[in-house]
Structure 1
Amino acid sequence: MMVASVESPQLHADSAARDARESAPIRPLPDTLISQIAAGEVVERPAAALRELLDNALDAGSSRIIVRLAQGGLDLLSVEDDGCGIPPDELALALARHATSKIATLDDLERAQSLGFRGEALAAMAAVAEVEIVSRRAGQPGASISAAAGRIGALTPAAAAQGTVVTVKRLFHDIPARRRFLKSPPTETGWCVEVFKRAAMAHPHVAFSLWQDGRASLQYAADFSPAGLQRLADVLGKAFAEHALPVQARIGPLAVHGLVCRPTAARARAEVQQLFVNHRWVRDRVLAHGVRAAYADVLHGALQPQYALLIGLPPERVDVNVHPAKSEVRFRESQAVHQAVLHAVQQALAPALSGRADTGAGGHTADGLSSPARPGSRPNPPFAFGPPSMLRQSALPLASMLQAYAPLGPSQAGHVADSATPNPWPNERLDRNADTAAPSQPLGQAIAQLHGIYILAQNSQGLVIVDMHAAHERVVYERLKAAWDQRSLPTQPLLIPAGFAASPQELGAVEDHAETLQALGFDLAASGPASLAVRSLPGLLGRADPVRLARAVLAELAEFGTSQTLEQRRNALLSTMACHGAVRANRQLTLGEMNALLRDMEATERSDQCNHGRPTWRQVSLDELDALFLRGR
């Protein structure tokens, strides 16, 4: 039986379209259609149009910008500035395609210092909306011009203050196909607000105001602080500022400043990750990876760091003409930029506690720079900085490390300490009259141990609670890294080798990574067909459980594979070693041992967090304690 074939409507339509293309002649596109196509790339939604208008206002040298929105910019979008203004005879050109005053040659493009330079934004808006420009330059009369559907109207006189007001109405109103792809007014408003905030963060010296549907919404006064960090704190909010640390570094022609949150403030989502290059908000994998790498040593798991960083470098070292929306850049020396950002953020996260004690404004860090007040410590905290510093090395001198205490291990019944490695934490009584507000001792003096887990100390601000294992782990970890960097990890032989039954993977790791194990301070050798003996340990971990420590290191080596990968992931390996070498819960410490740990924390970089991203200590202020007991009420 024969079955008749039935051609679907879609196949018929595709065939007709193909026939039409094959028979249509090549011809130039109308100018209006060209502008409407360009509008899809340049002003795909109100937020994109707002970004372009803000770029023009900022390029004009404005000190004050006012933004007005109606229905999320769908009905009305207006940007008013007090910049240099546009001469009357150039207003029509401002609406023409590819007309700009910002570049004239290829050399200008390669060194573009303006935010906008393509000369297509206003023309694209005029093709898909109603646009009006009112402007006046100092010493000249004001003028107004309008455009719609790609047609430019006549120039008319207008009374206006110096500056420019650009108003965009009925965006995509006459292009229903494009309008349908826009979201609801609240959603479009949210994107416009985000663009507004980014411009405010990138240009702290400019005052910004936002009006939504006739009501004042956001206002930011001009911030003339040295690095403009107060503006970042104002825009990002109190919750961000409470956990923020200032970043300020300069390496040759590249400058990095901004705010980064402590690792304990990390979130499951990238809620606040703002990057700016030469006052331009960008998405850039090089910069983002540099920041993430700086947190790798203190951030646990898949949590996302929170930050806002402004990077400045000579314009010829960065290509900003990569994307029509100018949201992507390309660096000439991307690796150098990556490393600069990484080290700048590491420097912000790494200071020892003694260098950033909460002693109020005007304190000084160990390298002589002014120490800013901690963001969020009081309303509108001022960020005061000294001159930008060269990045410093973070490794501790080996001599200082070897003079430190022998790390504590698990408490074991009948265990006798090796007389060759005495514990330099003396049994001392707490001096009740000690000055707990000493700037060199921000963690104060120990007063007790709670449940064998926490150290309680008092300082000038109140109570300090320390997780002794987490804190000790960080101290040991940083010393292991310093010794590793100097290839000088000391070794401590065991009086009696510790043997254990080994798996094939562990036996293979000993054979494959003999040099690495030796560099780490381990002496491991086969003591039978399926057993290993630990003959020596790293000196800094001499009191750790030798079998547990050796098996943990062998597991890491078996997972890492090649020595090259081990070098790249050495922090994970040293972190494992530190965890096994740190003091364990339920180890009873004397007051002298507790105070020695507090002093070591104050001298150790990144001591706010353990190797897994958990906090090591918390401050409970006297005001908080008074509130608990209703004192003063």
Structure 2
Amino acid sequence: MGRIKQLSKHLINQIAAGEVIERPASVVKELVENSVDAGATKISVEISNECRDIRVADNGSGIHPDDIMLAFSKHATSKITTDEDLFAIHTLGFRGEALSSIISIAKVTCTTRTKDFETGTKVKCENSEVKQVETGCAVGTIMEIRDLFYNIPARLKFLKNSNTEFSYIQELVQSIAIVNPMISFEVKRNGKTVLKTSGNNELKYALKEIFSSNVTDNLKEVLKTDNLSGMKISGYVSTPDFTRSSKKDYHIYINSRTVKCPVFQKAIDMAYKNLIAGGKYPFIVLNLELPPADVDVNVHPTKKEVRYKNTNMVFNFIMTAIQAGLSNYVEKDYSHSPLHNEQQPVFEDNSDERVVSFKPKTIDVFYNKSNDEVYVSDKVFEKVQGDLEQPSEQKQIFVPVKEKEPEPEENIVGQYKNTYILVEKEDGLEIIDQHIAEERYIYEKLKSEKNIVSQLLFISDVLTVTPSEAELI
């Protein structure tokens, strides 16, 4: 073990940069969020040189010439001043670590001007050294990053190929553009525009620009406000018949900040329970607004994780808001229906149709929507008539498999809610989901056919892709 030494300022910044700047997309995130906090209505992002050169320009408020040198110092920010401000954060950034971290791992040029000055200021930073000169420019800020990680070759080895790194950048800007429809965003790669929004303050129109009309045509609006708690949720969710194969299209925001929130995701899953098939996920764009004091965003360096003051209240608020938006698709809850509480016959006597009639002693079969289960008592049916003729032979649905040993005797006794087939067996009652049984029957039938009939489409099938997907193609 060597002697303890004080680390140099440059090395300290490089260590800190490792926490804040993970890849090129991390740089874009910090710079674009600064532009949003500056009140910009137009933000341009240009990427080149294998994603190692980045240019972010905005028409925001700019940086005061007296503050420009301080802006690149560690823990220098205009967004908070006291410790109480940490519990009332209204901006995307607040730590004052981004710029000082970036200049320690890249060559940076900042050109900025405020509306109070006729000339602007240009600052060049290299190896954590800052030089300032006057220059002419429009109101706003232009940040130019060159040779990212030029002095940390080891970090370059862990980066993925340029297409993958650019897809991270594109998805990041796309995520920020969704929750800021009032801002016009443009992303260019090697001079080619790959993403552009108009900034007309219409969320659904922005979604159409970013994704496609195929997405927006299958969305339902979600809007709910609770004045007592100060919570409000707004956005869009897809109909149950429009799904994705992953949660990649869960665009979740807390106070307009992109977050990864298990509570939020669980509320979405519960709201869509029994509405979509397993392994499928909806398209979600939701922004939850709540008092800053009720949520802690100062949990992770990237500010992607949050903690709530009242988790259960937030969970229920999100889930019920989504359910309200999907009211036309949510099935009725039968857990409090008369069938659940009263003794009623499941099958009616109809001797004309030569059907065996059964009557339960108590409530024998009922459907509980809350946990999606069918309950059956131990003693299900009793005969209410004397010796009756055997029921007429019912139409055979499946071709039985021939076995060496005879199959146990089975008898179909009825159907429940047009969903379940009740089969009486020697050892009890068997309940069959007829929809699943039909799917299995069709599957086995197709599987047994040697040649599957197919033909070319008469009309071409148009596949709509997002800008990020088109870039990969």
TM-score by length of 2: 0.75
Deviations 1:465-524 (A, max 9, x none): xxxxxxxxxxxx62635627x965672365576499xxxxxxxxx9xxx88868979895
State how far apart, in whole Å, the 2-side matches of 1:287 and 1:175 are: 37
Bigger share in strand: 2
1:408 alignment partner in structure 2? none
Deviations 1:353-376 (A, max 9, x none): xxxxxxxxxxxxxxxxxxxxxxxx
State how far apart, in whole Å, the 2-side matches of 1:549 and 1:284 are: 47
2:159 alignment partner in structure 1? 182
1:519/1:149 CA distance change after superposition, 3 Å: closer
Is 2:76 aligned against 1:65?
Answer: no
The SS at the match of 1:310 is strand
Superposed, which structure 2 residues align to 1:450-529 within 5 Å? Answer: 478=332, 480-481=334-335, 483=337, 488=341, 491-492=344-345, 495=349, 498=358, 526=379
Q: Is the 8 A contact 2:41 2:183 kept in 1?
A: yes
Superposed, which structure 2 residues align to 1:52-451 within 5 Å? Answer: 52-74=30-52, 76-140=53-117, 141-153=119-131, 155-225=132-202, 228-252=203-227, 253-351=230-328
2:382 alignment partner in structure 1? 533
Alpha-carbon RMSD across the aligned residues, in angstroms, is 3.4
The SS at the match of 1:88 is coil
Q: Is the 8 A contact 1:480 1:489 kept in 2?
A: no
1:542/1:295 CA distance change after superposition, 3 Å: closer
1:229/1:254 CA distance change after superposition, 3 Å: farther
Deviations 1:212-231 (A, max 9, x none): 11222221111323xx2322
Q: Is the 8 A contact 1:499 1:532 kept in 2?
A: yes
Deviation of 1:289 after TM superposition, in Å, equals 0.7
Deviations 1:367-418 (A, max 9, x none): xxxxxxxxxxxxxxxxxxxxxxxxxxx8xxxxxxxxxxxxxxxxxxxxxxxx
Gaps of 5+ in 1: 1-21, 353-393, 395-476, 501-509, 557-575, 586-626, 629-633
Q: Is the 8 A contact 1:72 1:187 kept in 2?
A: no
Gaps of 5+ in 2: 350-355, 369-373, 385-414, 439-458, 461-473
2:454 alignment partner in structure 1? none
Is 2:18 aligned against 1:43?
Answer: no
Deviation of 1:52 after TM superposition, in Å, equals 0.4
Deviation of 1:554 after TM superposition, in Å, equals 7.2
Q: Is the 8 A contact 2:343 2:363 kept in 1?
A: no
AA of the residue aligned to 2:8: P
Q: Is the 8 A contact 1:492 1:542 kept in 2?
A: no
State how far apart, in whole Å, the 2-side matches of 1:150 and 1:46 are: 19
The SS at the match of 2:57 is strand
1:487/1:542 CA distance change after superposition, 3 Å: closer
AA of the residue aligned to 1:133: C
Q: Is the 8 A contact 1:522 1:534 kept in 2?
A: no
1:182/1:489 CA distance change after superposition, 3 Å: farther
2:388 alignment partner in structure 1? none
State how far apart, in whole Å, the 1-side matches of 2:152 and 2:323 are: 50
Deviations 1:323-364 (A, max 9, x none): 101111111111111111111111122227xxxxxxxxxxxx
Deviations 1:544-582 (A, max 9, x none): 98844999x9779xxxxxxxxxxxxxxxxxxx8xx67x9
The SS at the match of 1:264 is coil
AA of the residue aligned to 1:150: S
1:338/1:236 CA distance change after superposition, 3 Å: farther
Deviation of 1:102 after TM superposition, in Å, equals 0.5
1:26 alignment partner in structure 2? 4
Deviation of 1:120 after TM superposition, in Å, equals 0.5
State how far apart, in whole Å, the 2-side matches of 1:84 and 1:320 are: 25
1:97/1:491 CA distance change after superposition, 3 Å: same
Deviation of 1:290 after TM superposition, in Å, equals 0.5
AA of the residue aligned to 1:66: S
1:319/1:523 CA distance change after superposition, 3 Å: closer
AA of the residue aligned to 1:302: G
Deviations 1:524-553 (A, max 9, x none): 564xxxx85388xxxx958998844999x9
Deviation of 1:200 after TM superposition, in Å, equals 0.4
State how far apart, in whole Å, the 2-side matches of 1:555 and 1:336 are: 41
Deviation of 1:239 after TM superposition, in Å, equals 3.2
2:449 alignment partner in structure 1? none
State how far apart, in whole Å, the 2-side matches of 1:489 and 1:234 are: 54
Q: Is the 8 A contact 2:416 2:422 kept in 1?
A: no
The SS at the match of 2:266 is helix
1:247/1:490 CA distance change after superposition, 3 Å: farther
Deviation of 1:49 after TM superposition, in Å, equals 0.5
1:499/1:59 CA distance change after superposition, 3 Å: same
AA of the residue aligned to 1:249: K
AA of the residue aligned to 1:480: Y
State how far apart, in whole Å, the 2-side matches of 1:523 and 1:180 are: 62
State how far apart, in whole Å, the 1-side matches of 2:424 and 2:333 are: 17
AA of the residue aligned to 1:47: A
State how far apart, in whole Å, the 2-side matches of 1:235 and 1:320 are: 27
1:159/1:294 CA distance change after superposition, 3 Å: same
**Runs of 4+ off more than 6 Å:** 518-523, 542-546, 553-556
Deviation of 1:203 after TM superposition, in Å, equals 0.7
1:112/1:542 CA distance change after superposition, 3 Å: closer
1:350/1:518 CA distance change after superposition, 3 Å: closer
The SS at the match of 2:92 is coil
Deviation of 1:258 after TM superposition, in Å, equals 1.6
State how far apart, in whole Å, the 1-side matches of 2:425 and 2:215 are: 42
The SS at the match of 1:109 is helix
AA of the residue aligned to 2:287: L
